[in-house]
Amino acid sequence: MKDAVQTAAAPAAVGAYSQAVRSGGFLFVSGQIPLDPASGEMVGGGMREQIARVFANLAAVCEAAGAGVDDIVKLTVYLTDLSHFALVNEAMEERFARPFPARAAVGVAALPKGATVEAEAIVRLPPGGDSAA
């Protein structure tokens, strides 16, 4: 069984996918890029602001399913420039509590809408968070 999770607090899907899918006590969050959910446009500023927006979008989807970022067990971050890896680490130290989620950082040639960073997550839902809302 699987249920889609949708929230206006994160950018709408830009294709044939759900923002997240809840199944078997887990939430599988689709890749989030630094889009402002209100405008649908990329956030301004530098890489720090873009990474922060990606994590805020992930948090919004988690919250829509009754979870939080500290429930993320696996995070995959895609970067078009791996020289920003240290900024991802800094942002994670600011945003996540220990133990940090397992993580992979992958260098890619391009991302949707010209984004420079994207992240997807697997989230363990807290008790009661695994039922359809």
**Each residue's pLDDT tens digit, 42-87:** 999 999 999 999 999 999 999 999 999 999 999 999 999 999 999 9
Per-residue pLDDT tens over the stretch 88-131: 999 999 999 999 999 999 999 999 999 999 999 999 999 875 55
Start-end of H helices in the chain: 47-64, 85-95
pTM: 0.94
The pLDDT assigned to 67 comes to 97
Residue spans per domain, the chain = 3-124
CATH architecture of 3-124: 2-Layer Sandwich (3.30)
* Residue-averaged pLDDT of the chain: 94
- Residue 128 has a pLDDT of 72
pLDDT on residue 130? 52
Tokens of 128: 């009661």
More confident residue, 130 or 3: 3
132 pLDDT exceeds 90? no
Helix (H, G, I), strand (E, B) or coil at 33: coil
